[in-house]
């Protein structure tokens, strides 16, 4: 049996999620819906492009009372979930699997007028597992935007399961999803809004793949291991270890929640700065320099220089801005990512003295360990070893930190979003 067939069989098989896995799935679903509702301002700009199709088929978006086709709903929700860089991520895989899979499954649920909540959770856990598995299996650094290219594969299989596509046609679903896959890291380098658009497009195309197979359209097979498959075109993968754990190790329980609305690569430093600010009673004006020694991926993703005219998408991936903001406010508030807020003189003064240095870690996908050094104006030095990023299974957020995130999400979500998103998320996704 090929590794591809093992994944297809896993996606189609009967499963009963272990109690802890089900609990993790519910928790991560709630987090994903909350950040999607909070992302309303950016996603609403894109939604206006689809105003002529509203109220056609009753598929919801997280941030308003407009309704769209299933494909457009998946697209817009994917954008909303990722646009603030606040969405959960499987760190070893470097895949925002929850974002794509939740967006497409919610559209499928609405398209089919809801369904069994436990079935939704199982499909979600399976989709996240497959998308994360492709990331775990990677044998090199990202060139394509893995949350989209791996995300569409996992998402399509989750949707196929949700609508009961015959198991023998799961290969067609995967094949069409692979045929539609796209998205590169060039958008990340440029800190472009294309990043959340790539997430949204992956969710939309996953829905499209399933709908096409449901209407007897076939797709190419062997798309992970074939001569022109994922492993040969997108990035090299070794699926042996991932496949060996299928059904025994549930990857959704390895997913990290993001405490701050910024690139995950910034969270090691931001978590340490938050702790130092509280424990040492350090203020922004006390700090002379911030030095972070970290794996190469950290410097690549958030080591970009401060710019006085930066856009919010750039700011969320710019540690030289985020670090002073955390020292000043104790929180990263997306509402402050305005031209005036990002160019504040006290932030700019320290930004040039925030350095991200590459350590000797050979793993080009690693996000930890890191070492933060804070040099103070009175001559003192404060150091923190960062073994794991805040919000990961190894360093979970406290109840107070989780409440702070949810309260800010509610504030940003606006009045038009369905209150069930925050109060009863499982009912929201399964009962349109």
- CA gap 313, 192 in Å, rounded: 6
pLDDT for the residue numbered 57: 62
pLDDT for the residue numbered 50: 80
Q: What is the pTM of this model?
A: 0.94
At 114-146, the pLDDT tens digits run: 999 999 999 999 999 999 999 999 998 888 999
Q: Is residue 286 predicted with pLDDT exceeding 70?
A: yes
pLDDT for the residue numbered 56: 57
Q: Is residue 82 predicted with pLDDT exceeding 60?
A: yes
pLDDT for the residue numbered 142: 86
pLDDT for the residue numbered 367: 87
At 12-70, the pLDDT tens digits run: 999 999 999 999 999 999 999 999 999 987 777 788 778 766 555 689 999 888 889 99
At 206-265, the pLDDT tens digits run: 999 999 999 999 999 999 999 999 999 999 999 999 999 999 999 999 999 999 999 999
Contact 411, 303 (CB under 8 A): no
- CA gap 23, 31 in Å, rounded: 13
Q: Where are the alpha helices (DSSP H) in 39-136?
A: 40-47, 70-82, 97-111, 117-136
How many beta carbons lie within 10 A of that of residue 168, not counting itself?
9
Give the rounded distance of the alpha carbon of 217 from its chain centre: 30
pLDDT for the residue numbered 53: 64
Q: Is residue 328 predicted with pLDDT exceeding 80?
A: yes
pLDDT for the residue numbered 236: 95
Pick from 117, 85, 124, 130: nearest CA to 103: 124
Kind and range of the H or E run holding 287: strand 287-294
Q: Is residue 306 predicted with pLDDT exceeding 60?
A: yes
Contact 255, 89 (CB under 8 A): yes
Q: Is residue 92 predicted with pLDDT exceeding 80?
A: yes
């Amino acid at each position: 049996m090929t590794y591809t067939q093992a994944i297809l069989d896993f996606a189609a098989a009967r499963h009963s999620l272990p109690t802890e896995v089900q609990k993790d799935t519910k928790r991560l679903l709630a987090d994903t819906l909350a950040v999607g509702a909070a992302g309303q301002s950016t996603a609403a700009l894109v939604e206006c492009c689809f105003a002529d199709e509203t109220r056609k088929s009753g598929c919801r978006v997280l941030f308003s009372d407009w309704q769209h086709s299933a494909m457009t709903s998946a697209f817009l929700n994917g954008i909303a979930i990722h646009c603030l860089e606040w969405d959960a991520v499987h760190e070893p895989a470097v895949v925002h699997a929850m974002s794509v899979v939740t967006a497409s499954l919610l559209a499928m649920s609405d398209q089919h007028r809801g369904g069994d909540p436990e079935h939704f959770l199982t499909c979600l856990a399976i989709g996240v597992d497959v998308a994360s598995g492709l990331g775990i299996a990677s044998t090199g650094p990202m060139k394509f935007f893995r949350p989209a290219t791996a995300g569409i594969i996992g998402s399509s299989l989750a949707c196929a399961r949700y609508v009961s596509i015959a198991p023998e046609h799961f290969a067609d679903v995967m094949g069409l999803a692979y045929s539609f896959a796209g998205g590169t890291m060039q958008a990340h380098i440029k800190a472009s809004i294309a990043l959340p658009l790539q997430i949204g497009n992956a969710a939309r195309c996953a829905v499209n793949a399933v709908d096409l197979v449901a209407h007897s359209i076939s797709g190419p097979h062997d798309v992970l291991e074939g001569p022109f498959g994922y492993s040969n075109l997108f990035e090299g993968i070794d699926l042996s270890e991932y496949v060996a754990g299928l059904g025994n190790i549930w990857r959704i329980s390895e997913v990290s929640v993001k405490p701050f609305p910024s690139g995950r690569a910034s969270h090691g430093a931001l978590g340490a700065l938050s702790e130092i600010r509280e424990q040492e009673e350090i203020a922004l004006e006390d700090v002379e320099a911030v030095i972070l020694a970290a794996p190469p991926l950290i410097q690549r993703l958030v080591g970009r220089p401060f710019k006085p005219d930066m856009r919010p998408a750039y700011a969320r991936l710019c540690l030289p801005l985020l670090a002073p903001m955390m020292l000043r406010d104790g929180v990263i508030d997306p509402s402050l990512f305005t031209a005036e807020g990002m160019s504040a003189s006290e932030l700019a003064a320290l930004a040039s003295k925030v350095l991200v240095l590459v350590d000797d870690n050979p793993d080009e996908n690693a996000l930890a360990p890191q070492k933060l050094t804070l040099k103070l104006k009175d001559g003192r030095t404060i150091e923190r070893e960062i073994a794991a990023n805040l919000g990961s299974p190894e360093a979970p957020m406290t109840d107070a930190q989780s409440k702070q995130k949810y309260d800010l999400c509610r504030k940003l979500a606006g009045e038009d979003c369905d209150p069930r998103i925050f109060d009863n998320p499982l009912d929201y996704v399964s009962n349109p």
